[in-house]
Every structure is written in structure tokens, then in C-alpha cells.
Amino acid sequence: MQQFRFSEYPRLSVDCRPAYRHRAPGRKTTLAAFALVSTLGVTQAFASAGGRTGFSGDPSLNSGATCDVCHAPDADGTTPPVVGIWGPDTMDAGSTHTLAVIVVGGPGQSAGVGISSQNGVGALSPEGGDLQLLQGELTHTAPKGLSNSVAAFNFQYTAPNYDADVTLHAAGNSTNGALDLLGDAVATATLDIDVINGFEPPPDPQDPPSGELPVTLFASGLTQPVVITNARDNRLFIAERAGRIQIVRRDGSVRGTPFLDISSRVDDGASEMGLLGLAFHPGYKNNGYFYVYYTYDPGPGRDRSRISRFSVSADANLADPNSERVLLEFEQTFSNHNGGDLHFGPQGYLYIASGDGGSGGDPLNAGQTTSTLLGKILRIDVDTPAGPGNAPDCDISNGNSAGANYSIPPGNAYQDGAGGAGCDEIFALGARNPWRFTFDAETGAMWIADVGQNSVEEVHYLPAGDSGGINLGWRCYEGNNPFNLSNCNKVYLPPVYTYSHQTSGCSITGGRVYRGLFSPELKGQYIFSDFCQSSVRALSGSPSNLTHRILVPTGQLAGISTFGEDFIRELYAAELQSGKIYRLGEQPPPGC
């Protein structure tokens, strides 16, 4: 078959779809995180700048996830594009052909793609500057504008040296040019290629990858789980992004009735919005208090992030939905980068992760602006009444008054009252989108996983007892790399570990420091993952000289959205799209 080059077809339109061979299973519009993903940033008013791996719709990669992990239609629905793969249906073994993925229509301002070969058969390579090769897959280097409602991405495929049935996968995203990741549309396509005239035998089937850390399915049937935690008893509490908290019993069964359902209050209309945080008060056994972080729509104006306290009812398996007490609210400038993690620290204060407000590149410089709560780690005292000198500062809820529902603890970055040098709720500055932080249960040290922009993911370490005011560096730096050095004249805390999008993923999922009983070889190690390349990883040793290794290789889990612990500090991980919870590590003895 003659090689195809898009320049030969300048008037390609939807009407000529029968002229190319592809199988398009249809548009996928299910919203996903994350974190999430959270987590995929944009630097222009277009599609994601610099594509990510793991989102081509390939079932052998990341559970078949597509670009709709972040990009979503608007509330009124969005006309989907047509996506197709142009190329031959038969190739000689070892030969190389030029193919193309085309994106036709949809919102039609710009397009991006992800391309893969199922199970990695053969080799993909970019042709020209539109695509880049990352971890064996092709993604766009930058958003590409549509001309006459069409964008095309040329690439080369080299067939294996043996006879094979090959399936190429592509996901294409057509955007509306806005920065909110809404009003976009995604479609997928496949191309089946028969490879003939092989001159080598096919490789022997490979055993599934295995690692040093056992992985066991623990629970299933959940919907987009983003938090795993416990109330110091033998239940797991799972927060679902839509606004429900489910209880998983010790045997892995899910209770039929949610512990709390506030889905009618939660705005989860974009992939990084929803119920994002859950923390139980250290004195929950006695006071029944727990805290949530969620996004909501107050009506006219911008959406808000809200931190609220709820109480358990007389039934230990049911919270009282009418017990909500709003503690803190702040506006979100865009729909992405909401952070959302909640944890009580060693001193009993509530820590809150806040993203930089979204878009890409932090266009409002929120991370370095002290008069906003965006792009920060916040810290508040939920037990001490507010008084002169410790009252809330930048809260915009109705609680910012004499009836305030929290106070400012000593040691925060600013304690100068309303209108001073900075918001008194700020503990640390310079965060982009911290997708999960944790405290070491033994040392009290804080580990923060911050999602990068286009090239680097990073982990920060704060020793126990650190005072407020530490600056994590964003947007001045992405990892250790300068990003935007305008007005960057402060002292910044460098990350203790970074990794590149070129080799290891695209969106970090922070985890926990292991302090359980049944995997003693992991004691004191920081366990984490990446949403795009979901191996389970460990950092060990001194924070000044960490050693990195893979505990569970890529392929066993997909799209890890969060980690959590049970009451004996054994580890669990959640897959966002499948809704499954996995136990990590050795199985506890019966009865534990």
C-alpha cells in the first residue's frame, strides 16, 4: 500500500471517512481525575502542552485510559471529533511505513494525540516535529491548530521481524481553546495490521511482570476512588470523587449504604474537581468529627474549594449529612489544580493542600503570591477558638467573623492579621498541585508529592518541627529546573527527588511512609507512584541521598489515584478508572 502523507489530501473532511481504514469504537466521555491526574497541565489556551503517555485508549496500557482523564465536554455536551488512523492493513515484516492520525471536527481550535502499539509490538517513531517518542508511545509535542477542521499527525511504524497481528491505538483530543479543560472532546480509533513474510520466529510469551511487593485485590465496585483512610478501627473509608464516602469492611466487602453522600453539594463537573480530601479528627472516637475538602459551585462567580466538618450519627456506619459546618472557603480561578489532600499533623493541626488554581504555568503566579490561598500548604487549628491575634484571615465563607470555626496556629508563615504581608493560614508556599502529602507516623516528617508542568515530577521533604514559611519553589522552578524566574529572589527548598517525563511518567501520585508490621523490609521508606506509569516505587535512605527502586513494575496496576493505610498501617492503593482497591505487601495473618 502506498505510504500516506497528509499533505496529499488538503481538503480532507468528515465526508471522506470511508477512504481510510480504521475502526473507531466511538467517543469516550467519562470524566476521570486525576489527579489527579491531575493533573495534566496546559501552558497555552489549547490542548495539553506536551502530551502524556498512557492515554491512547490501548487496553494494554493504563487500563485503556484516554485524554478524557482531564479533558471533558461542557455541561451542554460537546460535538466529538472524528479520529482515524491512516495506514496500510498489511506490512512486510521489518518494513517501515509512514502513517497518520487525523482529528476532524469537534470544538476545533487545537488537537493533541496519543498513539501506541498494543503490547508494544513493533516500533513507533515521530516524523517531523508534531510528535515525540516517550516510553515507546507517541504524543504531541505541542497543541496543533486545526486547518479546515482537520489536524494530522504523521508518524512511522516499523513492523516486527515476525508474522503478527498488530493493533495500533490512537486517542485524539479536539479543544475549544479555553483553559478550563471543559468544552473539549475526545475520540479513539484503532488500525489492525497483518504483518506477513516474517523472517524470525516470534518471541516466547512473557510472564506478567512481578516485583518484590505482593499485590492483592482487596475491594472492587467503587467509583473513582481518590482517598483511602481509616478512623482508627478495622474499616477503610474510601472517598469517591463524585461526593460519596464508602465503607469497606475488613473482608473487602463494600457496605451497601455510603457513610456520607454529599454528591448534590459537590461540583465534580471537571476531571480535577469533586470530593478530594478526607481526614478523621485524632479524637474521632470521642467527638465523631471528620473533615472533607470538596469543590462546589456557589452560583454566580467562580467555583470554590470548601473545607467542612461533619459528624457521625448514632449509627457508627452513617454520618449525619445535616451536621456540616463550613470552616474555610477560597475561590478557584480555573477548574484544574485543586489539590485537596487533608491530614492532621503531629501537633494536631489540620494541614490542607491547595493547588495553584489551574490553567498551566501558573499564569497568576498564585504559588508565590502571599495574598491568596492557592498554591500553598495551609495549616489551621480546628480545636482552639479564634481570638485576637489568631483569627482567620483569608477565608471567604460566612465563618470569617466572630463565629469563626478555626484559628491560626503559632508558627505559620504569617501571623499579622487581615491585610498583612500574607494569608495567616499559609504554612508553606510555592506548590503547583500537591497530589497527596503525608506525615511519617514515627518521625513526624512531611513528604509532599507535587505534580509537574511539562517535564519534571518532584518530592519535597520537610523535617519534623519545621516552622512555616518554607517555599517549595513553583512557579520559579519546576523541580530543580528554572521555569519562570521573574521576581524570583527568595530562598527555595529544593526537592529531595525528581524524575523526568521522558522516562518515568507524567503525574506523580504521592503515597505514605511505610510503618506497618508485615513488610518490615519497607520500614521507613516512602512509597509512591505515577498516574501515567503506575509502577509502585520506593525512596529509602537519608533524604539528602535517597535511593529509588521499583517495588511493583508497570503493568500490574493502572492509573493509581491514591494510597492509604488501615489502622495497623498496612498499605493500600486505588485505581481510579477500575474502582479497585489493592492491598500492598504481605498478607496479614487470619484474624488481624
CATH number at residue 137: 2.60.40.680
Q: State the pLDDT at residue 73.
A: 66
User: Given pLDDT bands bounded at 50, 70 and 90, which one contains residue 8?
Assistant: very low
Decide: 101 and 207 in contact? Cβ < 8 Å.
Answer: no
List, edge to edge, every strand of the sheet that includes 560-565: 215-219, 581-584, 571-575, 560-565
Q: State the pLDDT at residue 26.
A: 33
- Length reported for the chain: 592
Q: State the pLDDT at residue 49.
A: 56
Task: Report the range of poorest mean pLDDT among 26-30, 227-231, 484-488, 567-571.
Answer: 26-30
Residues 245 and 161 both lie in one domain? no
Residue 121 within a domain = yes
The yes-or-no verdict on residue 279 having pLDDT over 60 is: yes
Give the position of cell 524524575. 499
Residue 189 within a domain = yes
Residues 406 and 456 both lie in one domain? yes
- Domain containing 545: what range? 215-584
Residue 248 within a domain = yes
User: What is the domain-level CATH number for residue 362?
Assistant: 2.120.10.30
Quickly list DSSP for 62-105: GGG-BGGGT----TT--PPEEEEEE--SEEETT-EEEEEEEEEE
Residues 232 and 85 both lie in one domain? no
Residue 592 within a domain = no
Q: How far apart are CA 170 and CA 20, in angstroms?
A: 15
User: Given pLDDT bands bounded at 50, 70 and 90, which one contains residue 19?
Assistant: very low
**Grid coordinates representing 417?**
492579621
**Grid coordinates representing 552?**
511493583
Q: How far apart are CA 529 and CA 520, in angstroms?
A: 20
Number of DSSP helices (H) and strands (E) in the chain, helices first: 1, 39
Decide: 436 and 455 in contact? Cβ < 8 Å.
Answer: no
Residue 590 within a domain = no
Residues 166 and 253 both lie in one domain? no
Per-residue pLDDT tens digits for 392-435: 999 999 754 445 799 999 999 998 887 789 999 999 999 999 99
Residues 383 and 294 both lie in one domain? yes
Last residue of a domain, one of 196, 230, 246: 196
More confident site: 375 or 271: 375
Residues 221 and 100 both lie in one domain? no
Q: State the pLDDT at residue 75.
A: 56
Residues 185 and 263 both lie in one domain? no
Which of 576, 501, 570, 511 lies closest to 539 in space, CA to CA?
511
Overall domain count for the chain: 2
Give percent above pLDDT 70 in the chain.
87
More confident site: 16 or 441: 441
| Bridge partner list, 34 | 37, 38
The yes-or-no verdict on residue 4 having pLDDT over 50 is: no
Cα four-point dihedral sign 221, 250, 560, 353 = positive
The yes-or-no verdict on residue 467 having pLDDT over 70 is: yes
User: Given pLDDT bands bounded at 50, 70 and 90, which one contains residue 211?
Assistant: confident
Residues 296 and 398 both lie in one domain? yes
Residues 360 and 481 both lie in one domain? yes
Decide: 24 and 83 in contact? Cβ < 8 Å.
Answer: yes
Last residue of a domain, one of 134, 163, 196: 196
Last residue of a domain, one of 141, 161, 196: 196
Cα of 527 vs its chain's centroid, Å: 16
Q: State the pLDDT at residue 108.
A: 84
Residue 269 within a domain = yes
Cα four-point dihedral sign 334, 104, 169, 130 = negative
Residues 368 and 460 both lie in one domain? yes
Residue 203 within a domain = no
Per-residue pLDDT tens digits for 86-141: 999 999 999 999 999 999 999 888 999 999 999 999 999 999 899 999 889 999 99
The yes-or-no verdict on residue 16 having pLDDT over 60 is: no
Per-residue pLDDT tens digits for 59-101: 888 777 787 766 766 555 678 899 999 999 999 999 999 999 9
Residue 209 within a domain = no
Residues 322 and 462 both lie in one domain? yes
Per-residue pLDDT tens digits for 560-585: 999 999 999 999 999 999 999 999 99
Give percent above pLDDT 90 in the chain.
72
Q: State the pLDDT at residue 181.
A: 65
Residues 132 and 229 both lie in one domain? no
